[in-house]
Structure 1
Amino acid sequence: MADATSATPEVPITELDVAYVKQLQETRLEQQKQQMDLLSPVPQPYAIGAGDVLQIVVWDHPELAQAVGATQSQSSTRPGDPFSGFVVDQSGDLTFPYAGTMHVAGLRPEEVQHRLAAALSHYFVKPQVTVRMASYRAHEVYVDGEVHNPGVIAVNDVPMSLYEAISRAGGFADTADQSDLVLVRGGASYRLNLTDMVASGLSPSRLYLKPGDMLRVVARDENDVYVMGEVNKPMLAIPKRTGRITLADAIAQAGSVNSSTADAVQMFVIRGALNGKPQVFHLDGRSPVAMLVAKEFDLQPKDVVYVDGNGLVRFNRVLTLLIPAINAGLTAGLVAK
């Protein structure tokens, strides 16, 4: 337990060893399984919504197709224009000759087909109706962050998995952190770690996006860690492309510990200093086994790695502060004489 002062609270210090690192890995795997169960329900069939365009054909009655109007030519169609067909209005209603206006939002195309056939049977003998989706415009997901083509992606009748959404956004950029994806759904945010999922045997292809979801791929330089103290190059350590960075990786990026000034016994990782629940982890780096622990201990974004100096270094620094004061006192005494 670190001593409390007026400026810092009392913080427990956890010793890092093989057993504790294994416990952390098992806990993280269990949390990932729970998250997968929460975010991977059975995908629902596509439901028609406002803005969708339906292609409706009543066989042996070509005159009904004239209600659509002139067919647009491919050369004059802009990317945002809908295909030719019957558009579902903003109220979720569809208007069709003889059938009138009916509410179709939330229905599947085959359900609309049955309702149209029933309505047209009052005017035609056994009408044969075909309803197909001409343009999917009602439901969208949003992909932002470190992908090549961020933006809006339309959801169609094929359930959109997490991998498909990233693929349709152009794939991960070189600066993407594949261990830190943020999924915003229903007013809640979920952090997804694709690297750990794959390493644990959990397939991210089981995660399906829902209409209105937002997926953000975080940049690696937003998840850096600080390496300070008696290392050769104090710096901000950047995670790998997989997003993973261990304690050993961070020390290696900082040029290793300074063999002349570092105290291998006093290696610390400070975590969560600003969220009200700080944690401090201590590693005794004298043993070769300690490096195995450092290699398996994953750091989190904004962790602080601190390597303390040895006793001789601290003593020299005290002398460095005292000697100028002593010299000044001796000089003043000589001048007074």
Structure 2
Amino acid sequence: MTVKLSPARSAAGLAVRLTLIAAMTLLAACSLPRSGPSKSEIYSGAVEKGGNTHVIYVNDHVARTTNFTPSYGFSNSFRGAGQVGADEIRAGDVLGLSIWENVDDGLLTSLGNSSTALQEIQVDSGGYIFVPYAGRVQAAGNTPDQLRQIITERLATQTPDPQVTVTRVAGNGATVSVMGKVTAQGVYPIERPTRSLSAMLARAGGVSIEPEIAVVTVKRGNNTGKVWLTDLYSNASNDIALRPGDVILVEEDQRSFTALGALGGQTRVPLGNESINAVEAVAMVGGLNSHLADPTGVFILRDEPEQVASRVLGKSVQGSQRIAYVLDLTRPNGLFLARDFLIRDEDTVYVTEAPYVQWQKRLAALIGPINSANAVQNLAQ
């Protein structure tokens, strides 16, 4: 007996078949949504396969070879500079002079007065000051006491037994500029209490950001040095003596790594001033995504300097090299190696999706249209 389908049921069946064919064709023609390249696609870009990336499994040798973090610090030229003498006079300084004469009506004193005060005498750009009856006197390079003796000797030829005192009113000739993330930016004189870097930062009110991420840069002429704020206080050799004209800049550290792929989060993560290993880096973004991540495909992508790349590859190379370090967390020592592998500035931590994830996505993409077509067929019936 032949059963004839109604036109509606025949149309619905045809729709199911057409939907299935269309879905299969679509899956074959394009790739499904995903968080990035698969493990096999990264391997296909290896140098051995004609690519320009060295794909290296992390072992004890690799972890030890790459186990360094570029550190901040001052060169010997900064550390070897002596402290500025707080009493040494420089061009731009402002001085105060008091002169006593042993006569009733002296050269500088008026009748009935035994002394005269010359206030706010500025040392000119050549290092000189002018003192009446003593003439143009070299002040820069002398201490106040040395300048006192010079002025006394010159006045002694014109007035009997003169007595002179010299004080340094302001040290504008020996100043530094403090800028950036400090409480009070400004130009500050190098005085007796502020002759070192830490003292000058305190004079500027301290830093206005978290100390753990603060970097202090000192520019001196054509030379520049920088140090972590925490290292400045923990190591006395970093507390350098300041020199006139120094520029001090406090800023937030910009070092970071990027986390991508099948992780708890995808973001740019600041490194701070502490060493961070691969396990900590993954944990900082929520760990591996238990529904997506392939624990055999944890990659650290890095442009490795020539010297380090040569030791890792066991051969001499020219220039920096693109290296994709692979961590297999399923191996017996996988987590230990990840714990020993340090993350550096500008690293990319990428975790691939497990192979079955793409299979599930394809299956879901196939079943979805079919279920929809079946629903249409049921309604037609």
Normalised by the length of structure 1, the TM-score is: 0.71
Residue type matched to 2:78 in 1? L
* Partner residue in 1 for 2:261: 229
**Structure 2 spans left out of the alignment, 5+ residues:** 1-42, 110-114, 307-318, 371-381
Deviates more, 1:160-169 or 1:43-52: 43-52
Query: For 2:78 and 2:180, how far apart are their aligned partners in 1?
Result: 21
Q: Percent identity?
A: 23
Q: Deviations over 1:244-302 (max 9, x none)?
A: 361344322211111332233333333458997356454443433235325xx2532x3
Give the superposed CA RMSD. 4.0
Residue 52 of structure 1: aligned partner? 93
Alignment-derived partner of residue 120 in structure 2: 85
Match of 1:311 in 2: 355
Partners of 1:116 and 1:11 lie apart in 2 by 75
Q: Is the 8 A contact 2:91 2:173 kept in 1?
A: yes
Once residues 146 and 155 of structure 2 are traced to their aligned partners in structure 1, the CA distance between those partners, rounded to angstroms, is 14
Distance in 2, matches of 1:191 and 1:177, equals: 14
Structure number with larger C-alpha Rg = 2
How far does residue 10 in structure 1 lie from its aligned partner after superposition?
A: 4.6
Give the alignment's TM-score, normalised by structure 2. Answer: 0.64
Map of 1:265 onto structure 2? 296
Q: Using the alignment, how far apart are the partners of 1:24 and 1:273 within structure 2? A: 12
1:182-236 alpha-carbon deviations (Å, 9 max, x no partner) = 22111222231344566xx63256312222111222224x333211122111112
> Aligned letter for 1:256?
G
Q: Secondary structure at the match of 1:256?
A: coil
* Paired position in structure 2 for 1:40: 79
Unaligned runs of 5+ residues in structure 1 are: 69-83, 328-337
Helix, strand or coil at the partner of 2:205: coil
Opposite residue 340 of structure 2, the aligned amino acid is V
**Aligned pairs, how many?**
297
Question: 108, 122, 139: which is aligned to 2:174?
Answer: 139
Q: Which residue of 1 aligns with 2:320?
A: 277
How many Å separate the matches in 1 of 2:322 and 2:138? Answer: 56
Structure 1 residue 105 displacement after superposition: 2.4
Question: For residues 290 and 296 of structure 2, what CA distance do their matches in structure 1 show?
Answer: 12
Does the CA-based 8 Å contact 2:193-2:199 persist in structure 1?
Answer: no
Matched with 2:344 is: 299
Which residue of the other structure, out of 228, 233, 252, is the alignment partner of 2:283? 252
* 1:6-33: CA deviation from partner (whole Å, max 9, x where unpaired): x9845575837498459845x867x84x
Say which of 209, 214, 238 aligns to 2:242. Answer: 209
Change (3 A) 1:288 1:3: closer
Distance of 1:215 and 1:12 partners within structure 2 = 42
Distance 1:315 1:140 in 2: 68
**For 1:182 and 1:272, how far apart are their aligned partners in 2?**
26
